Amino acid sequence: MATAADYVGKNCPYCGAIDSIETDEARGEAACVNCATVVAMGLEENVATRLLRHPNAAASAFSAGPFGDTAKYAKTKLHPRMSAQLEVFFRLSRRHDEAILRDAIALAKHFVGFRRERGMRVEHQTEVAAASVMLAAERLGQPIPLSEMRVLDGTLKDVESRRQEILDATNLGEEMAQMAKHYAPNLIHYYVRLLQLPLIRYEMPCLALFRAIRQCESKPGPGASELAVFVEAEKVVMAVLLARTEPRLRWPNKPPPPADPSAEPSRATLYSGFASSAHLQPVRVEKLMRVAERAVPLIRPEFERLMQTPEFAMAAVHTMGEAVVSMTVKTEDTKSYAPVKSEPIPTSAPSAPNIAGGNRKRSRSRSTTPQVPPSSASQER
């Protein structure tokens, strides 16, 4: 998990204020001095400190497992190549929650132990490691698309088959099917933060755009049939980049364009920069955005209709930025915790205290935000 130092000099993900994050190491909090929102809490809490305070935490965590009774597989030894790949995929993905790596290791041990128990060989070590990291990240609300994994390792082959084998061995199929509806919202949350856009202004419109794109697939019109060929993660990319670059798409609190048009980077530059940050192929991003731009006349009416529905009309004003931090998981204390949601963020947040009021304690809204992304709207994978 992150430390206070990780937030020094960062922009606020809610109001967009530049270099506005102030950290309080005593409380383990990071807060925006502009809108007074606490953007992270528990920063002093990480895997190392938990194990120091609770010497038996590691044993209990792996014996109970994050997805059921895996005590008999806790001592399973992984092949050095698989162990190394688990670590590499986690580090390269830049998801900073150490729980992802911990759960990926537990998943891999369960799968390997299950296969050995039945006298079955464990092949495709790299693909098993990739599938384990993807499953662990998705369960914790921080999905890693397969397209990103293939950029991280161009030698990957049939990861989807290995994923299904792990689901069968760990009996996670039903749980992951239920969690599939959170995949797109969580990925939107991650990409909006990756672009350093204010969540309060972009997250819900991006979700509405994603739904509009999906609903336009079967409609007659230019670009509709082309939209249908892209997978869910690519439609998320379309939604986020259209929200960022397309002037024809408007909503009430969308930031105005810069007064000087030359200050705005070109679309090609934005697409290339996003592809690099998100570990996606630039050529693929450019291709899907060409399709998305042609389909804007078809997408726009559906998007505007969705933004008028109660779900988005209310959320756009009152609860933008509300996101699922993580799904119910087993911790080292083997207790289940329900999904944690951030509190609604008001559109008119209090300003930073002035010099005259500098001695007064700043009020802070308690809004817990995850290390990297998620959101909670309903959507099938």
Residue 151 lies in a domain: yes
Q: Which of 87-91, 94-98, 135-139, 283-287 has the lowest mean pLDDT?
A: 94-98
Residues 187 and 71 in one domain: no
d(CA 335, CA 328): 10
Reported confidence tier of residue 55, pLDDT bands at 50, 70, 90: very low
At residue 379's C-alpha, the angle toward residues 375 and 218, to 5°, is: 135
- For 353, which DSSP code? P
Q: Look over the chain and give the mean of its residue pLDDT values, rounded to a whole number.
A: 77
d(CA 180, CA 184): 8
Residues 165 and 75 in one domain: yes
Residues 309 and 287 in one domain: yes
Residues 55 and 165 in one domain: yes
pLDDT score recorded for residue 361: 44
- Of 295, 318, 341, which marks where a domain is finished? 318
Supply 39's token pair.
Answer: 């953007």
pLDDT at 141 over 80: yes
**CATH number of the domain enclosing 231:** 1.10.472.110
Q: Could you give the residue ranges of the DSSP H alpha helices within the chain?
A: 47-53, 57-64, 80-93, 98-117, 125-139, 146-152, 159-170, 173-179, 183-194, 199-216, 224-227, 232-245, 267-278, 282-294, 296-307, 310-318
What's the structural domain count of the chain? 2
Residues 187 and 304 in one domain: yes
Residues 238 and 297 in one domain: yes
Residues 189 and 310 in one domain: yes
* Residue 274 or residue 360, greater confidence: 274
Amino acid found at 190 = Y
Residue 224 lies in a domain: yes
Residue 271 lies in a domain: yes
Phi, psi of 253 (to 5 degrees): -110, 30
**CATH number of the domain enclosing 78:** 1.10.472.10
Residues 166 and 74 in one domain: yes
Residue 227 lies in a domain: yes
Reported confidence tier of residue 317, pLDDT bands at 50, 70, 90: very low
- Of 121, 150, 171, which marks where a domain is finished? 171
List, for residues 243-292, the tens digit of each pLDDT value. Answer: 999 999 999 889 988 888 888 899 999 999 999 999 999 999 999 999 99
Mean pLDDT of 109-125: 90
pLDDT at 236 over 70: yes
pLDDT score recorded for residue 284: 96
List, for residues 163-216, the tens digit of each pLDDT value. Answer: 999 999 999 999 999 999 999 999 999 999 999 999 999 999 999 999 999 999
Kindly tell me the sign of the dihedral angle through the C-alpha atoms of 65, 70, 74, 80: negative
Residues 197 and 310 in one domain: yes
Pairing mode, strands 365-366 and 29-32:
unpaired
Residue 204 lies in a domain: yes
**Domain span holding position 288:** 183-255+263-318
- For 336, which DSSP code? B
Residues 95 and 131 in one domain: yes
Residues 157 and 70 in one domain: yes
Q: Order of strands, edge to edge, in the sheet holding 21-24?
A: 21-24, 29-32, 37-40, 365-366
pLDDT score recorded for residue 214: 94
pLDDT score recorded for residue 68: 53
Residue 366 lies in a domain: no
Residues 115 and 165 in one domain: yes
